[in-house]
Chains A and B, each alone.
Chain A
Amino acid sequence: MYFVAEVNEKECAKYNCKQCVLFCPEPNCLNYKQSDHTAWVWADRCKGCEICVYVCSDLLKRHCIEMVMVKTGD
Chain B
Amino acid sequence: MGLEYVKISPGFEKYMPRDYVDLVKFGQFGKEIDVMQLGQFKELVEEHPMCAGCYMAYFIRVFYAALPKPEDTIVLGTAGCARLALSQAAVPFIYGNYGDTNAVASGLKRALSIRFPDKDKDVVVIAGDGGLMDIGFGMTMHSWFRREKFTTIMVDNEVYGNTGGQESGMSPKGIQLKMAPKGKQFDKINAVELAQVAGCVYVARISPTNPKRIAKVIRRAILAARKFGPTFIHAYTSCNIEYSIPTREVLADARAREKKDFKFYEWMTDEVKEYLEEIERKEKEKAKQEVKS
Residues of A within 8 A of B (CB): 18, 21-28, 30-32, 34, 39, 45, 47-51, 53-55, 58
Residues of B within 8 A of A (CB): 36, 38-40, 42-43, 45-48, 50-55, 57-58, 61, 64, 211, 247-252
Question: Contact at A28–B251, with CB atoms within 8 Å?
Answer: no
Q: How far is the CA of A18 from the CA of B211 in the complex (A)?
A: 12
Question: Contact at A54–B38, with CB atoms within 8 Å?
Answer: no
Among A22, A24, A34, A51, point to the contact of B248 (Cβ < 8 A): A51
Question: Contact at B57–A25, with CB atoms within 8 Å?
Answer: yes
Question: Contact at A27–B250, with CB atoms within 8 Å?
Answer: no
Question: Contact at A49–B42, with CB atoms within 8 Å?
Answer: no
Instruction: Find the A residue at minimum CB distance from B37.
Output: A32
Given the interface pairs A31-B39, A49-B53, the reply to whether A54 lies near B251 with Cβ below 8 Å is yes
**Which residues does chain A contribute within 8 Å of B249, judged by CB atoms?**
54
Instruction: Find the A residue at minimum CB distance from B212.
Output: A22
Closest 3 CB pairs of A and B: A49-B53, A47-B52, A21-B39
What total count of A-B pairs have CB within 8 Å? 68
Of the A-B pairs whose beta carbons lie under 8 Å apart in the complex, a sample of 10, sorted by A's number, is A21-B39, A22-B38, A25-B50, A25-B58, A25-B250, A27-B47, A45-B47, A47-B51, A49-B248, A54-B249
A61 vs chain B, min Cβ distance (A): 15
Question: Contact at B57–A21, with CB atoms within 8 Å?
Answer: no
Given the interface pairs A48-B52, A49-B247, the reply to whether A54 lies near B252 with Cβ below 8 Å is yes
Question: Contact at B40–A23, with CB atoms within 8 Å?
Answer: no
Among B46, B50, B58, point to the contact of A23 (Cβ < 8 A): B58
Instruction: Find the B residue at minimum CB distance from A49.
Output: B53
B246 vs chain A, min Cβ distance (A): 8
Question: Contact at B42–A28, with CB atoms within 8 Å?
Answer: yes
Q: How far is the CA of A39 from the CA of B58 in the complex (A)?
A: 18
Question: Contact at B53–A51, with CB atoms within 8 Å?
Answer: yes
Question: Contact at A26–B39, with CB atoms within 8 Å?
Answer: no
A49 vs chain B, min Cβ distance (A): 3
**Which residues does chain A contribute within 8 Å of B248, judged by CB atoms?**
49-51, 53-54, 58
Q: How far is the CA of A21 from the CA of B196 in the complex (A)?
A: 35
**Which residues does chain A contribute within 8 Å of B51, judged by CB atoms?**
47
Q: How far is the CA of A53 from the CA of B246 in the complex (A)?
A: 13
Q: How far is the CA of A55 from the CA of B39 in the complex (A)?
A: 16
Question: Contact at A25–B47, with CB atoms within 8 Å?
Answer: no
A42 vs chain B, min Cβ distance (A): 10
B99 vs chain A, min Cβ distance (A): 27
**Which residues does chain A contribute within 8 Å of B45, judged by CB atoms?**
27
Q: How far is the CA of A53 from the CA of B250 in the complex (A)?
A: 12
**Which residues does chain B contribute within 8 Å of A45, judged by CB atoms?**
47
Instruction: Find the A residue at minimum CB distance from B42.
Output: A28
Question: Contact at A32–B251, with CB atoms within 8 Å?
Answer: no
B38 vs chain A, min Cβ distance (A): 6
Q: How far is the CA of A24 from the CA of B47 in the complex (A)?
A: 13
Question: Contact at B252–A32, with CB atoms within 8 Å?
Answer: no
Which residue, of A27, A48, A53, A58, has the highest number of chain B Cβ atoms within 10 A? Answer: A27
Assuming A28-B42, A54-B249, what are 8 further A-B pairs, CB within 8 angstroms?
Answer: A18-B39, A25-B58, A26-B61, A28-B39, A39-B39, A47-B51, A48-B52, A50-B247
**Which residues does chain B contribute within 8 Å of A53, judged by CB atoms?**
248
Instruction: Find the A residue at minimum CB distance from B62.
Output: A22
Q: How far is the CA of A18 from the CA of B50 in the complex (A)?
A: 24
Q: How far is the CA of A30 from the CA of B45 in the complex (A)?
A: 14
